Amino acid sequence: MSFRPAFIVACCFWSCCAWAQIPAGVDTELAKAKIPRDAAAFLVVEAVSSASAAKPRLSHRVSAAMQAASVIKLATTFAALELLGPAYTWATPVFIDGTVREGVLTGNVYIQGQGDPKLVLERLWLLLRRLQGAGITSIRGDIVLDRSAFDVPDSDPGAFDGEPLRPYNASPDALLLNYKTVVMTFTPAPGSNVAHVQYDPPLAGVQTQDTVATSASPCNDYRASLKPDFSDPLRIRFVGSYPLSCGERVWPVAYADPANFAPRAVQGLWNSLGGKLSGTVRYGNLPTRLTAEKPLFEVRSPPLAEIIRDINKFSNNVMAQQLFLTLGRDGNGSAGSFGASRLVMQRWWQERISADEPLNIDNGSGLSRTERISALALGRLLQSVYRSPLMPELMASLPISGLDGTMKRSKSNSQGSAHLKTGSINGVTAIAGFVHATSGKHFIVVALVNHPNAPAARAAFDALVDWTAQDH
């Protein structure tokens, strides 16, 4: 891998000069939230297109190494744009090992995962339809799922925060299918007292409840009203009712047995397409003798520039980890690992962003308690973004204040003026990105709070964005 020459921001006074006073509106909101100033870090500095120093408008505790939660995705996605390129795509090749006659394959099908972050239901459906389009409707053998492109340890999806059924806790996988998530759609049936339940993808061997009784209760917490029981991975049921006033709702839930999600999803979808399978869907590696063969076909992901929009706008953790692990795969096809990716990221950071402001990165998503970065380091990263020819791609991936993504519910008065990555885990709230001011200038804004009351810092962040935008 090659790296561009390092860019070192020539403004050491960011961290050592007397900092501008925290704006009154921001300070007031911090006090309301009972967050002390020494639990926060703020940086506001003009984004400049040359290597000249830019004096910050606000610099408070900018050198403190802090948890930034999903804001760390800025480093992962910008590194990927530079190292892989915005047009990079992931391939998922499909091989057959056997003979085909009159629609019957006597042998195995191999689906080789290469880390595609967006092999969702629709694209898995198209993959299986292409297999049928190649003349295979019956398989006298197995469908083998190859996950060897990543070397990642098994993990407990509830280890981070005790929420194993939350899709954001899904673990990365070289053959990640639909984020290991079942999407349940509840649709009230006209003229009846039930709502139909659809499950996507259908999971082979899992008993599901096709209807649930409706109720006249208000649509507050419909999930609690349903009283779901996900304790048995082989059975999904509801012992409560669905509020009729909710209309149609969609509820994604991480499958209770993630290790067996992919085989069940592939077999369930193959069955739903009318395909026949005499064997099983199982994990395994592509035989060595087939590695030099041309695949029957391959499906490709959307380009990286599109992938990072999902990662940043909606803060998709498992997609970020898929991207991070891809950075650790070298040209000879060795398996990607977190350790290898950390080395790549550290080298890129030191040579491209800063040799003296460290980046402590764990899995690239921010869903970690060990990742650390300072507001100053994030400012240097964003200055590099602003000077980069790839700035439009990165900027377009960020949530827009009051309009979309994780910033859609922002109460800032500067709607549409800020492109900001957000971050939030227990005890941490953060934003970092760009604000377009009334003066026409672009400012880099970074705000980090590490405190038990961190969720209450959002009003202070909105006040900071408004103060930045009102530059004259």
- What residues does 110 pair with on adjacent strands? 95, 144
Q: Write out the CATH class of domain 13-87+304-469.
A: alpha beta
Task: Output the pLDDT for position 168.
Answer: 80
Is the pLDDT at 149 greater than 60? The verdict is: yes
User: Which residues contact residue 288 at a Cβ distance below 8 angstroms, ignoring those fewer than 6 apart?
Assistant: none
Query: How far does Cα 215 stand from its chain's mean position?
Result: 35
Number of residues written out for the chain: 472
Domain range summary for the chain, segments of one domain joined by +: 13-87+304-469, 90-301
* Percent of residues, the chain, with pLDDT higher than 70: 94
Percent of the chain residues past pLDDT 90, beyond the cut: 86
Q: What pTM value is reported for the model?
A: 0.93
Q: For the domain 90-301, what is the CATH superfamily, name and number?
A: D-Ala-D-Ala carboxypeptidase C, peptidase S13 (3.50.80.20)
Dump pLDDT digits (tens) for 227-249. 999 999 999 999 999 999 999 99
Asked whether the predicted pLDDT for residue 224 surpasses 50, the reply is yes
Q: What mean pLDDT do residues 398-414 have?
A: 93
> Would you say 210 and 237 are in contact if contact means Cβ atoms under 8 Å apart?
no
Higher pLDDT, 324 or 190: 324
Is the pLDDT confidence value at 53 over 80? no
**18-22, 79-83, 92-96: the lowest-pLDDT one:** 18-22
Looking at residue 18, what is its pLDDT?
38
DSSP string of 147-205, one letter each residue: -TTB------TTTTTS-TTSGGGPPP-TT-BGGGEEEEEEEEPTTSSEEEEEEES--TT
Report residue 164's pLDDT band, with 50, 70 and 90 as the boundaries. Answer: confident
**pLDDT at 381 > cutoff 60:** yes
Interval 265-312: pLDDT, tens: 999 999 999 999 999 999 999 999 999 999 999 999 999 999 999 999
pLDDT tens figures, 326-363: 999 966 578 999 999 999 999 999 999 998 888 999 99
Q: Which pLDDT score is estimated for 332?
A: 59
pLDDT tens string 312-323: 999 999 999 999
pLDDT given for residue 366 in this prediction: 95
User: What pLDDT shows up at residue 63?
Assistant: 96
CA atoms within 13 A on the CB side of 296: 22
Q: Are the CB atoms for 264 and 206 separated by under 8 Å?
A: yes
